[in-house]
């Protein structure tokens, strides 16, 4: 039963952390009422799906983890913090021997994977937790591997729109562009068009006003050399629930792997998808 799985969400006072904590409670998981936030940023309480979670600064994490590991020995940690904290947080979870799901993007990804592999701690690491988006990426990968050059000569236009606070180009858009390159399309990631202006997002991208603060709208348009054939791929995500749901699936998946004592320790969202539906 899911109620036997405890999950600690750092930091559930952040936007993604809060969405995950609420989805975890809704899925029947046992949400640990303690969470770590950035140094000196603690001392508050946040309600997540009816659970009052105490938010404690990172400077006190040793004593918090002592308590959590004692009271919830089978806990799984979820991390949605900031790119600058990715590597050090992962190293900390490893040092405490606690399985974790890392949803935070950025940081030194090669180092992250290396560290986790060496330590042999159970973990799911995925900068994109939206299962259906990951399935689309995997399908693009299969197409590129099987039919390299199939779209040679085609021109590509890529547009991605996100909330104006997102400064970098979408990592997912860059990953999809790599598959198009393998399919023979000449296109550089610098050519991806970023839309960040709210009025343009409403007018041109048709983003509902309610989601200007959180959306991921992507369009990839291909045109044949003579202009007689056009393809268009689109994935438009509003809000954060797709990522929150995928994270809960990753937690359930990881809890199962820990229970079974699986040989493989490190997983990504493709592994979670391949396992099939768990809910
Ligand atoms: P946010 O700013 O709302 O929340 C981040 C929280 O982390 C803040 O509350 C901050 O105080 C806290 N924090 C900072 N340093 C910390 C530390 N050392 N330890 C613990 N907590 C710390 O940001 P957000 O919108 O929730 O995004 C968080 C991350 O999740 C970003 O990297 C974002 O790109 C990523 N993200 C991933 C997915 C996915 O599918 N994997 C989806 C959406 C967002």
Active site residue 166: yes
Task: Kindly state if the Cβ of 83 falls inside 6 Å of ligand 1.
Answer: yes
| CATH architecture under which domain 131-238 falls | 2-Layer Sandwich (3.30)
pLDDT at 26: 97
| Gap from CA of 77 to ligand 1 centroid (Å) | 14
- 123 CB neighbour count, 10 Å cutoff: 29
Q: Quote the longest CA-to-CA distance of the chain.
A: 67
Q: Quick check: 37 pLDDT over 60?
A: yes
Parts of the chain belonging to CATH 3.30.360.10: 131-238
| CA–CA distance, 162 with 198 (Å, rounded to integer) | 9
pTM for this prediction: 0.93
pLDDT at 279: 67
Distance between CA atoms of 81 and 16, rounded to whole angstroms?
Answer: 8
Question: Which positions ≥6 away from 55 have C-beta within 8 Å?
Answer: 11, 12, 13, 35, 36, 37, 41, 42, 43, 44, 45, 46
Residue 235 annotated to the active site:
no
Which residues face 216 on adjacent strands? 162, 237
Q: Kindly provide the ipTM of the predicted complex, given to two decimals.
A: 0.99
- Gap from CA of 113 to ligand 1 centroid (Å): 19
Which residue has tokens 């950025």? Answer: 106
Annotated catalytic residue within 18, 131, 157, 166: 166
For residue 41, which atom of ligand 1 is closest to its CA?
11
pLDDT band at 228 (very low <50, low <70, confident <90, very high): very high
**What per-residue confidence (pLDDT) applies to 242?**
97
Q: Which residue has the tokens 């949803």?
A: 103
**According to the model, what pLDDT value does residue 1 have?**
72
CATH 3.40.50.720 domain range(s) in the chain: 2-129+241-274
What does the pLDDT look like over 250-272, one tens digit per residue? 999 999 999 999 999 999 999 99
Q: How far is CA 16 from the centre of its chain?
A: 9
What would the DSSP string read from start to end of 171-218? HHHHHHHHHHHHTT----GGGPEEE--HHHHHHTT---GGGTTSEEEE
CATH superfamily of 2-129+241-274: NAD(P)-binding Rossmann-like Domain (3.40.50.720)
Q: How far is the CA of 76 from the centre of ligand 1 (A)?
A: 17
CA atoms within 13 A on the CB side of 79: 29
């Amino acid at each position: 039963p899911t109620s036997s799985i405890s999950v600690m969400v750092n930091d559930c006072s952040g936007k993604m952390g809060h969405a995950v904590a609420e989805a975890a409670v809704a899925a029947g998981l046992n949400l640990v009422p303690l969470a770590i936030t950035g140094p000196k940023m603690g001392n508050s309480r946040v309600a997540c799906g009816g659970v009052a979670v105490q938010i404690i600064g990172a400077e006190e994490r040793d004593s918090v983890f002592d308590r959590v590991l004692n009271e919830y020995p089978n806990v799984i940690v979820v991390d949605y913090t900031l790119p600058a904290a990715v590597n050090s947080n992962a190293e900390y979870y490893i040092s405490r021997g606690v399985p974790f799901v890392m949803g935070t993007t950025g940081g030194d990804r090669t180092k992250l994977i290396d560290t986790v592999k060496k330590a042999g701690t159970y973990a799911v690491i995925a900068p994109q937790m939206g299962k259906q988006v990951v399935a689309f990426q995997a399908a693009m990968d299969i197409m590129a591997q099987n039919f390299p050059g199939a779209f040679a000569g085609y021109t590509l236009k890529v547009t991605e729109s996100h909330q104006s606070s997102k400064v970098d180009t979408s990592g997912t858009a860059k990953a999809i562009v790599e598959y198009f390159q393998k399919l023979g399309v000449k296109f550089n990631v610098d050519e991806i068009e970023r839309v960040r202006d709210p009025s343009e997002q409403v007018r041109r991208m048709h983003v509902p006003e309610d989601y200007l603060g959180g959306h991921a709208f992507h369009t990839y348009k291909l045109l044949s050399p003579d202009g007689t054939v056009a393809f268009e791929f689109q994935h438009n995500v509003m809000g954060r629930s797709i990522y929150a749901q995928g994270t809960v699936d990753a937690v359930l998946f990881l809890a199962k792997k820990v229970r079974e004592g699986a040989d493989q320790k490190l997983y990504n969202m493709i592994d979670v998808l391949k396992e099939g539906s768990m809910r």
